[in-house]
Amino acid sequence: MTDLKFSFTELMQRKPALVSLVIILILVLGAVCAPLLAPHDPEYVELGRALLRPQTDYPLGTDHLGRCVFSRLLYGSRVSLGASSLVMICNISISLVIGILAGYKGGWIDEIFMRLGDIFLAFPNLVLTLVIVGMMGPGLQNILIAMVIAQWAWYARIIRGMVLSLRESNFVLAARVSGVPSFHILLHHILPNISSQVLILATLNVGWAILHISGFSFLGLGIQPPTPEWGVMLKDSRSYFWSDPLLMLFPGLMISSAVVSFNLLGDALKEIAGMKGNL
Amino acid sequence: MDRNSDTIFKIENLFVKIPTRQGTVHAVNGITLSIEKGQTLGLVGESGCGKTVSCLTALGLQKKHFRVKGKTCLNHREIHMLTPSEKRRVLGKQVGFIMQNPMQAFNPLITIEEHFRETIRSHKKASLSEVRKSANDLLQKVGLAGYEKILHQYPIQLSGGMLQRVMIALALILKPRLLIADEPTTALDTTLQSQIVKLFKKLKKNSDISILLISHDVDMIASIADKISVMYAGYIVEQGPTEEVISRPLHPYTKGLLLSRPRFSKERLHTIPGHPPSLLNLADGCPFYQRCFSSGPLCPSFSMDLQHCGNGHFVSCAYIDKSFDKHKVQEHGSPRDTVNF
Ligand SMILES: Nc1ncnc2c1ncn2[C@@H]1O[C@H](COP(=O)(O)OP(=O)(O)O)[C@@H](O)[C@H]1O
Ligand SMILES: [Mg+2]
């Protein structure tokens, strides 16, 4: 059980975590202020200016359709970060509700949700997502739904475990002994005590989601061109790898720095919370 | 059931079996207890003999997988018949419970004041200043006067002894009619122990609260309780008025227990030979007979029923020996089993 305030000061003392946090903040800031920062319209095609080297007008050059790479990266971070946050929020809230219900109420509710979860957990994550996308067809919305369907059971199981051990803890028993209503126990004893672990799960989930959304877009299953997105940009620049390697380097760098940052941050939080094992 | 009696709390023939991977733990094997209004009952027994499990189960707070048989009445109402919300309203309000491990019994993320607020507001409306006032009053009574800061501190900032006393205050804050105190002095050092004992005595004198006092410390129990129940391996082996049990113990286990108290004398301290039996897959018959100095052929199949021996004194032993001859007891303990003090 850790105090969140306490964790924050500890977090500041860890270099990798601090660097990750700064990178994440920069990415988020860039995404939020994209319209102000972007020098060009990310979707404006100007074939005459295709494949330019980085220069003052185009800080990171232009792509094969003459679109400003820098602007596209900025707008792309909106899509990548926004979509993966959405996946995370859906995942965490669904699994919070289910995990808490199953862990705290127990009995048949627990049995139903956990057996249902077993079915989802029986398939490898990626395979399940691919199958669902295959059935529903490509597109951002479908990818998001598929990712949540493929992931909720895993998180619900972890959260259920935390709730279960807290439910058996002495201070929850003490609260029951003094006649505290069970909803109050849930809200004031159980939820606050799992919040730091849930934050860690959420952080790691965002990293995972960024990677997968870009990955699916790269395969043509996710976000469709011309929408600027890191995975789409990576895919578009594949044919120019030998002539203009920078075109692939930039979106690749964005994806990896974002994913690595979220993972490092999650790991640091995990370490601070003293959590053992793999999450 | 006698509705006219003043029995406030009654446990009747309670059995608790705990299924585990290794087998069934026979934690409680048919205990019967009753506490009258204003009376203090001391439940004494070695750790692991089932004291905590008994009283938590009696209040319906056992873990879900425990198998329970028997009934408990609080104010002539059967606890297992109450609806969950009725039960919730009884707990804390009519029964105060002092839990065994004060260090683990507080939510680490909320302050002591929030614990008080939560307990009080679960049962009645109270403004923050009312909560503070009654909390401060009680903290003063448990010897935490002058620690105004306590209310705003988090559990980790307090010592075990302080938490133990906060716990007592929390259990008493709604003026329950029954107080169950599970090892209330175990976490404390000797000076604090005597302070808590004084507090219990004062509580007894100044109110008609009934107390179920649980401990492994016979002396502490004897100094407070009106009645003593001796528990061994999930059985009540002896029960009776404090004076009776202390001066005329009938069960060999009780005799051993009384002789093994350090009394600052030059005498050799007696220890009961052997170890308490494992409650896992406990066999029938008297669980003490392998360690007993007066066992006989009847012991392994003895039913463990309590027999009345006059003066409200009950014992469950196949060979009741009315003499309390400590030399006889000591003869049987080998020299290895005695400790020189
Ligand atoms: N959750 C549990 N699972 C298995 N065994 C348990 C559990 N809780 C208690 N026990 C066993 O029940 C017995 C009685 O425990 P307890 O009531 O805590 O003893 P004490 O007299 O020290 O309070 C012990 O042997 C203990 O090992
Ligand atoms: Mg105990």
Query: In the structure, what pLDDT confidence band is assigned to residue A236 with cuts at 50, 70 and 90?
Result: confident
Residue A126 reports pLDDT greater than 70: yes
User: Average pLDDT of B99-111?
Assistant: 91
| Residues in chain A within 8 Å Cβ distance of B89 | 179
pLDDT higher than 90, residue B328: no
Q: What pLDDT shows up at residue B188?
A: 80
B320: phi then psi, degrees, rounded to nearest 5? -75, 125
Residue B334 is predicted with a pLDDT of: 41
Q: What is the arithmetic mean of pLDDT over B38-63?
A: 93
What distance in angstroms lies between residue B51's CA and the mean position of ligand 2's atoms? 5
> Is the bond into B277 cis (omega within 30 degrees of 0)?
no
CB of B279 shorter than 6 A to ligand 1: yes
Distance CA B184, CA B182 (A): 6
Q: What pLDDT is attached to residue A181? A: 94
B230 in Cβ contact with B306 (< 8 Å): no
Give the pLDDT confidence of A142-193 residue by residue, as tens digits. Answer: 999 999 999 999 999 999 999 999 999 999 999 999 999 999 999 999 999 9
Residue of the CA atom closest to atom 25 of ligand 1: B48
Pocket test for ligand 1, best of B11, B17, B18 (most atoms within 8 A of CB): B18
Share of chain B above pLDDT 70, in %: 91
| pLDDT for res B266 | 61
Mean pLDDT of B271-286: 84
Summarize pLDDT for B216-269 with one digit per residue, the tens. 999 999 999 999 999 999 999 999 999 999 999 999 999 888 888 776 556 666
Which residues fall within 8 angstroms of residue B63, CB to CB, at 6 or more apart?
A168, B18
Over 90: is that where the pLDDT of B122 sits?
A: yes
| β-bridge pairing B40-44 and B210-215 | parallel
Average pLDDT over residues A1-27: 79
ipTM: 0.87
Residue B223 structure tokens? 């100094």
The predicted pLDDT at position B289 comes to: 86
Question: Which positions 84-113 of B are in contact with A (Cβ < 8 Å)?
Answer: 88-93, 96-97, 99, 101, 104-110
Average pLDDT for A5-24: 83
Residue A238 has pLDDT above 60, yes or no: yes
Q: Does the beta carbon of B281 sit less than 6 angstroms from any atom of ligand 1?
A: no
